[in-house]
Structures are given as structure tokens and as C-alpha cells.
Amino acid sequence: MGTGTGPVPISMADDIARARELLEHATSVAVLTGAGISAESGIPTFRDALTGLWEKFRPEELATPEAFEANPKLVWDWYAWRREKVVHAVPNAGHRALVAIERGCREREADFTLVTQNVDGLHRAAGSRRVVELHGNIRRVKCFDNHHAIESWQETADEVPTCPRCGSLLRPDVVWFGEALPPEALAAALAAARTCDVFLCVGTSTVVEPAASLPYIALEGGARVIEVNPQPTPLTGSASVSLRGAAGEMLPLLA
Ligand code: NAD
């Protein structure tokens, strides 16, 4: 996915103008981002993260408590591989454009909330202030049994590290399939979806619940939805504006 800025097709120019107008007049903006916004920072989406070494697995076979209990080393190693990509990644033009959109909202005293399903921490690294992390953060680790937060740990070649407090295995502090979301983060995301008048949905396949419901909650409340994604999604038909392109190319045109 490139970040080049070629001429914008005329049909898309209309969509961009409409999206800009919606954002400029909004009194409350909610943004939902997914793995797609970090693709241009070199962090694979779930589908792309299951290539190479990992292509024979499905996310449900690696990102669940059951998978961890069955084969903790396999799951730990997959996250270690992804964490390595995250710690070397830097925010891209899409992340930076959302910082500019937030600044614009602040200057005209409009509400702004950025809800992310990403666990890479790149929105905060870019400078976004009001960020709700729905699925945790891969840079953090906690223990499996008691959720003790662990600051540092020793990687070994053949064993999953253990908790210095209780001895249980360490795991990434992310939300796996089948696990509950952090209640405060979920409440903040729901409140943002219910109260916004513009909902911007970027780089998410809108199939992972409960995040996938957020744009529909916004629609029920009368909000307009702007979608940015190179591929159509189940949400596309309900969006007021659908910008079919990479986040790093489209979002700077809205900022
Ligand atoms: P997903 O992998 O299901 O979908 C990614 C979406 O991004 C797709 O619709 C794809 O068309 C789109 N996309 C790809 N490249 C894009 C680009 N350059 N610009 C804009 N959109 C682009 O991801 P999801 O919807 O976030 O849901 C899956 C789960 O995966 C989430 O729970 C998330 O926590 C987790 N995840 C997070 C990261 C991360 O933190 N960076 C990476 C992989 C998976």
C-alpha cells in the first residue's frame, strides 16, 4: 500500500469535499480505527499477520484463552513476533491526520473521541489525546491467572515467562476472542457513538464485535458515517461517504 499522493479522481474529489464538510460542521466526532490504519506503518492486519510462518493458523486459533491454555508457547511466540513489529513501527500519515482532525475539533470546541481496536499504541505515539483502546495494548504484559501487570520480563527460547508474584504464565495485555472488553473503555466508546453527529470509520473490517456495532449505534442516533477503507465492508452501504483508499492517502485530504 503506497503513500503517494497522485491526482484525486473527480468522483472522489466530490466525496472528499462532502466528508470535509461533514467534519467541519460536526459538533461531536467519533472515530473508530482498526488494523488497516497501521498497515502503512508495516504492522500486518490480522489477515496479513497470518502469512509466512503463521499462514496455517486462523486468528481464533491463536488469539483466544483456550489457544493459550492449549499451547502457550505458540501463542506467546506469535505475539512476540507481532510485538517486535510494533516496537519498531512509527505512526504514518493516517495517524497524523487524525491528530490534526482532533486539533481542529478542539479549536472549535467540538467533542472528539478516537476509539481504536488496535493494540499497537501508534495513535498516542502520533499525538492523539483522547484515545480509547478497546482491545488493550500489545506492549503491556499481564499474568494469565490473576492479571497482575508486569513491567519487564525475560524472553527465553523455549519457555513462556512466568509472573514474579504468582508464578502463572505471562500473556499479552490484549483482549482475545471470547474475552470481555475493559468496561471503562467500552462505556467510553458507546457514549462517543451515541452522542456523535459524525462517525469516521477507518481501516476496520467491521466484523469483530462489539466494535463492529459502534457505527450502527451512531447511525441509530442520527449520525453520518464516513468510511475509509480500500475494500468494501458490511458498513459501506450505510455510509454517507465511502472513501475507497488507504488511510495514509485519504485521511490527510480530510484533515
Ligand atoms: P481486520 O484485519 O479484520 O481488517 C483490516 C481492515 O483494514 C480491512 O477491512 C482492510 O480492507 C483494511 N485496510 C487494509 N489496509 C488498509 C489501509 N492502508 N488503509 C485503510 N484500511 C486498510 O482488522 P480489524 O477490523 O481491526 O479487526 C481485527 C482485530 O485485529 C482487532 O480486534 C484488532 O485488535 C486486531 N489487530 C490489531 C492490529 C494492530 O494493533 N495494529 C493488527 C492486527 C490485528
Q: What is the largest CA-CA distance in the chain?
A: 61
pLDDT tens track, the chain, 255 positions: 334 455 666 679 999 999 999 999 999 999 999 999 999 999 888 766 566 556 667 777 789 999 999 999 999 998 998 899 899 999 999 999 999 999 999 999 999 999 999 999 999 999 999 999 999 999 999 999 999 999 888 888 889 999 999 999 999 999 999 999 999 999 999 999 999 999 999 999 998 899 999 999 999 999 999 999 999 999 999 999 999 999 999 999 999
For ligand 1, say whether the CB of 105 is within 6 Å of any of its atoms. no
Q: What is the pLDDT of residue 103?
A: 98
Return the DSSP state at 119: -
pTM, two decimal places: 0.92
Residues 220 and 216: their CA atoms lie apart, in Å, by: 6
Distance of CA 146 from the midpoint of ligand 1 (Å): 29
**Element counts in the chain: helices (H) and strands (E):** 11, 9
Check if 135 is active-site.
yes
Instruction: DSSP letter for 230, please.
Output: S
Our answer on whether the CB atom of 172 is closer than 6 Å to any ligand 1 atom is: no
What is the CB neighbour count within 10 angstroms for residue 147? 11
Output the CA 220–ligand 1 centroid distance in Å.
24
Neighbouring CB atoms inside 10 A of 47's CB total: 10
- Cβ burial 193-221 (10 Å sphere, 16+ → b, else e): beebbbbbbbbbbbebeebbebbbbbbee
Ligand 1 within 6 A of CB of 118: yes
Q: What is the pLDDT of residue 2?
A: 39
Per the CB < 8 A criterion, the answer to whether 157 and 102 are in contact is: no
